[in-house]
């Protein structure tokens, strides 16, 4: 039996496939590609926005008072204070020097305040070693 245009031979019987089905199939394929492109654009835009929150800080001193690590330093010329609980695994007493600080979005992180991750100065925050997670108690 010959298969006519608009028909498909799929085994047991010939089934008539209307031309409108092929039209909607093409529309769906284009729609999927469109949403994939939009998703990738938003993903790239969010990663770039994340990277803009990374700033260089200069730590002047770190002290421990009653189990709370207090890191004092500067972000440019603005005074900066970071705090964390000494018993937490992501809390470290930072030595004086330069570091990268990544501010986390609102409601993200361990503490109930503006959270920040601190990275080694030589490392890129996107792939570098995280030294600790802190509560940003004073800045700009």
Each residue's pLDDT tens digit, 81-137:
999 988 888 888 999 999 888 888 776 777 778 888 888 876 555 666 788 889 888
When pLDDT is cut at 50, 70 and 90, the band that residue 12 belongs to is: very low
2, part of any domain: no
Query: CB 116: neighbour CB atoms within 10 A?
Result: 24
The answer to whether residues 16 and 64 belong to one domain is: no
Is residue 71 over pLDDT 90? yes
17, part of any domain: yes
The answer to whether residues 40 and 107 belong to one domain is: no
Does the model's pTM come out above 0.95? no
When pLDDT is cut at 50, 70 and 90, the band that residue 14 belongs to is: low
Torsion, Cα of 116, 120, 125, 130 (10° steps): -60
Residue 125: give the domain boundaries.
54-138
132, part of any domain: yes
Structure tokens that stand for 135 in this block: 């509560």
């Amino acid at each position: 039996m010959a298969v006519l245009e608009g028909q498909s031979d799929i085994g047991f019987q010939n089934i008539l496939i209307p031309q409108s089905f092929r039209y909607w199939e093409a529309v769906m394929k284009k729609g999927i590609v469109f949403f994939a492109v939009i998703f990738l654009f938003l993903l790239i835009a969010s990663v770039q926005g994340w990277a803009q929150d990374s700033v260089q800080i200069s730590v002047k001193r770190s002290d421990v008072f009653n189990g709370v690590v207090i890191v004092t330093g500067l972000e440019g010329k603005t005074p900066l204070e970071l705090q964390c609980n000494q018993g937490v695994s992501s809390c470290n007493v930072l030595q004086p020097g330069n570091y990268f600080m990544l501010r986390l979005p609102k409601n993200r992180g361990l503490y109930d305040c503006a959270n920040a991750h601190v990275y080694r100065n030589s490392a890129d925050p996107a792939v570098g070693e995280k030294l600790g997670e802190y509560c940003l108690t004073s800045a700009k």
